[in-house]
Each structure stands twice: as C-alpha cells, then as structure tokens.
Amino acid sequence: MKEKVNIKDKSFDGAGLKKDYIETIIEYILNGFEAHATEVSISAQAFSDTFNGLKSLEIIDNGSGINYETREETFGSFLISQKQNNVFFDRVNKGKGRYTFSNICGEAKWTTVYKKGDKNYKYTITIRNCERDYCNYTEPVETDETTGTKVEFFGLGKLKIENLEGEDFKQQIAAFFAKYLYLHKDKHIFLNGIEIPYSLVIDDSLSSSFTKTIDNFVFKIDFIKWIEGSNQKSFAYYVDQSYVEKFKEHTKCNNNAVKFYHSVFIESTYFDDFSSVGIENGFEYEKTQTDKVFKELQTFIFDYVKNRLKEYIQTEVPRIVQSYIDDGLFPDFADDPIANAQKEDLKSVVSSVYCVQPNLFFRTKKDSKKAIIGCLNLILKTDERENIITILDSIQKLSKEEREQLANTLKKYEPSSVVKLLNTISARYEIIEKIKTLIFNNEQFTNERNHIQKIIEQNYWLFGEEYNLVAADERLDKVLTKYLKYLDRNINGINYDNPCYKSKRPDIFISGMRDVASPNGEIQQNIIVELKAPYVKLTFDIYRQIEDYMMAIKKEPEFNSIYYSWKFICVCCELSPEVIDRRNSYNERGKKGLVNCQSNYEIYAYTWSDIFTMFDIRHRHLYGKLQKKANELAMMYNPSRELADRMTNEISDLSGIAK
C-alpha cells in the first residue's frame, strides 16, 4: 500500500537534511533510543572486491517499534515529530531523520515490530529516493518476534566499509550519545557486534554520581569529566525527571589551562515545577532562581566543581612540571645533594603556583614561562620567599583565596626544603672536617691512591656544584674517550697509540654546562684535578705534569672549540717557592690560584687549605641562614594550644578537597 507523505509546505530538498553520512547514521540511532531501545546495533558488510564498497548496512534497535495505527503521525508526516527532545541531544530531528537515508543510498526499508494489546505485530515500510513523498507499507501480521525496528539501506553508492570502521566514526558516535549512555548504563550502541563505549570521550575514573538532599528534595547529581578533544562545553544542567532541561549555566571552571572539560547534570522532581524566568505562558512559578533551595543547590554545585578542578590540577601538575623540565624551561642544576634540594624546592613552588593560578602559564610563550620559572628560582635563593605572591599578583591578579592558598603552600614547602639543604650542607662540613683530620693530623698514613683519590671521587662538589663526574684515575686516552661519549660525540678522534696519552693518568675529570654571555648562551666547562698526598709539596715538576695534560688536550682539534673551557687544578698541602712566584705573577688577572692561562685553558695551584676556605666562603652565609630559619621553623611547631588551633584550621581547609 502506497501513501503520500504530508510535507507541511516544506520541500525535501530545502528541509536541511544531513549531508554527512555520520550525521545520517546518528539520526537513525537517535530514532531507536527515542523509541525506548536499550540497544542499537549497526551492521555493515563489505563486498569481497578490493574496493571495499558496502554490500549491506543495517541499523537495528529493540525499541517499541512503529505503531501501524499511528504511522501517519509518526512516519507519514515530514518535519513533524511526536518525540520530545531532552537535554541529552542537541537537536530535534522533527521527523527528518527517517528521510536522511537519501544522503547515503537510494532506498530504505523499515521492518518494525510493535505491541498492540497482548500481541506483537510486524510490517514493513519502504521509501525510495526517486519518490520520497510516498511511503510503501505492508499490512501488519501477528508475530512472536520481540518489538524493535530494523532499517536496511540499499544502493549505498560510494560509502565504504572503512567509513564505518574508522576511529573518527566511532569517536563522533560516542561524542553525540555519551551523555545519554553515561546516565543510562543500560543503553548500548554496537558496531558489528563490538560496543562503541562512552569512555571514548568520558573519563570514567574522574566522573561520579551521587545525591544531595536539600529541604527534603533529593537531587541526583552526575559529574562527567570529558576527555580532551571531545569539544564539550562545561555547563551545569538542571533537569526534571524526564531530563527536560529547565535551566543551564556555565560552571566557570572550564579552565583551558588544564583542559578541565566537564558537565554536571542535576535531576530532581524539584524541577518538574521550575522556571528560570519565573513566568511562562501567563503562569507564575514559585520555584525560580531566587528560591532558597535552588540557591543552596547552586552554591553546592559550584563549590563541588571547584574542588574537583583543584583535585584534577593537583594530579596533572607533576606531569606538566616534568614537561617544563624536559623542554628546558627550568634552570640547569648540578647533580649533587644541594642542587637537588634546590631543584625539588623549585618544582614544589612551580607546582603550587600552577595549582593556584594555571592561567599564568596557559598560552604563555616558552621564553615567558622560562623567565617566570627563573624568577621564582632566584627569589627562592633569597630570604624574600613571600615576595613571590606580590610578583605573581602583579602579573596576573590573584583573588584573596588564591593569595592565601599560595601563602600557605609556600610555608608548607619551606620547612622540607630548609631541612634538606641544612642536612646536606651540614654533612658536607662534617666531611671536610674529616678530610682535614686525614690531611693535617694523619698525613704520614694518608696516601693519594687509597684515600685522597677515593674521597674526592665521591665528593667532587668541593670543586663546584654544577659538574658531573666523567672519569677518575684512568689513562688520559680513556678519559677523553669517555668525555666524547659524555658529549654524545664521535669516539674515533683520539689517537690511542700516542704514548703521551697512555703515560698520563688524571685523578679527577668533571664537566658541566655553564651559562655565559655568548651567542649560544652556554659553554662546556671542564675541570681536570691532580691530587697529591698530604706529605707531597707542589713543586715545579708536579706543575709541569699537569701542564702536560693541558698541552696534550690542546693538540686535539676535537677539544679546541671556543665553547669549551678547560681548567687544570693541582692540589697539595704546600706550594714550592717557584710555584708561589708563578701564582703571584698572575695576581693582576683577578683569579686566585691561577698559574697559567692560554686562551680558554687555565691552570690553578691550590693548597688543601685553599680548597676548604673556598667551600666555606661559598656556603657560610647560606649555612647560617638555614640554621636560623630551621630554628624559626622549630619554634613554629613547639607544642602549644595555638599550634593545636592552627593545625585544626589547616586540616579543615584541606578536608573539603579530600572528600
């Protein structure tokens, strides 16, 4: 039986039918769910030829079917739909969905089973693209089959199997139906027997569902955290029991800096009689945005989302800060305990600043981020830690809450950083005292190979914080080969047969990058140290030994770059008069201990007393400040009623986030 479609003064071609095949398939899945289906299955089979054209395409649902007696209302009218739209779907198909088949094929056939009384009936509907204003119906017959509808598409043209099996197809299907599927866990979409899950676009681990009761009204709240790239906006939706939207508003916690995309659905009978505008169609509603229940609910939702944002940032910050380190935005730190403690302190503060004000780093150029982090690092090395808040506030205005949170965080991390640094420097002073004992009080039993060499190899920080150990007590040819490996350079440049390399054995070779005012902003600084037993005087012959190291390295083109700096240091308990005279001749250079200088090569002669004094000069002020700060911090945590009250308040502030 053929029946004409009621077009309602609109032509098919001008009705805005979806041209994209994914949008077309979405319309048919939507029809299934609007018919109360719990499962909608897409079945696609390709021809066996190499072109992968579609042999068949079917969309099957287990919904209520299309009632034959109301077919003219539900199927015979174009642009008229009996199905009510709700908050899950961002469009109403208005009956167009059934006709979008013309975008992908020449003919569509619906085989539908519906329930009438205690019996089920089955019939078919066919529409051809060449005569879309007519529907062909068969007479319904009684059947034992369950209700539902199968749509078959014929003449699929250029549509191919990869169009449906690609990730983009599944991603778009999941994105459109994700809210509906998440809030209706009994609903499912399948593609050739494999489910298309909402988890493609929703982070299930960070989403949650719970209830909140206010004045005997129960509100079911679903918080959805969207995966990056899902293109969802962050709104709170207030809906009635049918999930018809009564009001929506932005949560103001989207925060693009950390890509915290989310949606909140608040469903309750409270919204069955609610109007955001107060008066609709002449009827005045009591429940509006000014109602005390709604205002309390609104405050709760905003606070909840804000706390979830804080939690999310705290979990993301370690990854983000590590990416800053990997990208070279952090200053270079030596691989030693003091530098490591300073680096950890900077990481903690940068993490805290990011948690409080991530927008400070969002869409900020790499050089600007590096400057901000460098500024924080400089401040942390002074006593002006609290000024970080003032500086950040001048860059990007902080709220009162953000200022307080950052102040508390800076105080929280300060004790641990102070203790770490204090312990490290204390340990180093203790090591130096033990070395002094060996050198000045036990000199006749302390030798170079078994004692001095071993000690300095483990504690090369005596010559600077910024260096890494390259080699120790090895032949010069092997030392330079290791150095090339350290630089990730070609290791075939050294002449292993040269006797001068095999006869020379430097005690310590350390190296590190140093910022300088040069075109590339850094230079590779290298130090070779020659150590002598306490009873050995630094004579001119010993000086000539380390000068030979310098001349041997200078002969290698591999190491003659202007971006390499070489220092050769000899350390003994006492200097001979000849070496002292040579050192005095270089006093005008302003570099204490210098005995030779050739371009970017320098030789220094030091006594052990010089080495210990230089360490004390570098650390004395910091050590004193750390001891003073440690005493102040200890006083802050002395047992008292004030401490109990303060700690209770601090724990209360954190408890809301920890729930």
State pTM to two decimals. Answer: 0.58
More confident residue, 423 or 176: 176
pLDDT digits (tens, 9 = 90+) for 222-268: 999 998 776 677 899 999 988 888 899 998 786 666 778 899 999 99
Take residue 266 and report the two structure tokens written for it: 């608040």
The pLDDT of residue 295 is above 90 = yes
More confident residue, 301 or 55: 301
pLDDT digits (tens, 9 = 90+) for 101-114: 777 788 889 999 99
- Domain 2-195 in CATH 3.30.1490.20? The answer is no
pLDDT digits (tens, 9 = 90+) for 367-401: 888 888 887 877 776 656 666 666 666 655 666 76
Torsion angle, alpha carbons of 338, 340, 342, 347, to 10: -170
pLDDT digits (tens, 9 = 90+) for 560-577: 778 888 888 888 888 888
d(CA 517, CA 434): 39
CA 194 to chain centroid: 31
d(CA 652, CA 133): 68
Task: Assign a CATH topology to domain 442-617.
Answer: Trna Endonuclease; Chain: A, domain 1 (3.40.1350)
pLDDT of residue 494: 56
The pLDDT of residue 654 is above 60 = no
The pLDDT of residue 623 is above 60 = no
pLDDT of residue 92: 44
pLDDT of residue 267: 94
CB distance 461 to 429 below 8 Å: no
Q: Where in the chain is the domain with CATH 3.40.1350.10?
A: 442-617
Take residue 269 and report the two structure tokens written for it: 């009978």
pLDDT digits (tens, 9 = 90+) for 14-29: 444 345 788 888 888 9
pLDDT of residue 208: 92
Backbone angles phi, psi at 2, to 5 degrees: -105, 130
pLDDT digits (tens, 9 = 90+) for 35-87: 899 999 999 988 876 667 788 899 999 999 999 988 776 664 433 344 444 66
d(CA 426, CA 623): 8
CB distance 78 to 95 below 8 Å: yes
List, in sequence order, every residue forming a beta bridge with 515; answer none if it has no partner.
Answer: 522
d(CA 504, CA 495): 14
Q: Where in the chain is the domain with CATH 3.30.565.10?
A: 2-195
More confident residue, 542 or 6: 542
